[in-house]
């Protein structure tokens, strides 16, 4: 029963993200015992992620939401992501000349 509720909650969050960003696509990454990460990229380039307790639950939530799912986070899919100063700082931007943390 808990899995059904968790799946429905994740599916609703994915659908809400898609609605807020003109549609969305996603990719599921296995995190080992921690579960699975669902990376979402909106049509407007905004992105976010959710963590599911299992890969199977992540797959079902994405299926229920109806978004397109990619096997890999690369190519045209990765190019849709818009990044700004925050992302550069958080993702090794300091080493690459990005803004310093404040």
Q: What's the chain's Rg over C-alpha atoms?
A: 15
Q: CA separation (Å) from 77 to 32, 41, 81, 99, 102?
A: 24, 8, 8, 26, 31
pTM confidence score:
0.80
**Tens digit of pLDDT at every position of the chain (102 positions):** 668 999 999 999 999 999 999 999 999 999 998 899 999 999 999 999 999 999 999 999 999 999 999 998 888 888 888 877 766 676 665 555 555 555
């Amino acid at each position: 029963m808990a899995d059904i509720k968790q799946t429905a909650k994740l599916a609703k969050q994915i659908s809400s993200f898609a609605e807020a960003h003109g549609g969305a696509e996603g990719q599921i990454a296995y995190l080992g015992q921690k579960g699975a990460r669902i990376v979402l990229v909106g049509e407007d380039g905004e992105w976010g992620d959710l963590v599911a307790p299992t890969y199977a639950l992540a797959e079902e939530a994405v299926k229920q939401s109806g978004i397109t799912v990619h096997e890999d986070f690369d190519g045209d899919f990765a190019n849709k992501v818009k990044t700004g100063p925050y992302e550069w700082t958080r993702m090794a931007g300091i080493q690459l000349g990005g803004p310093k943390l404040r």
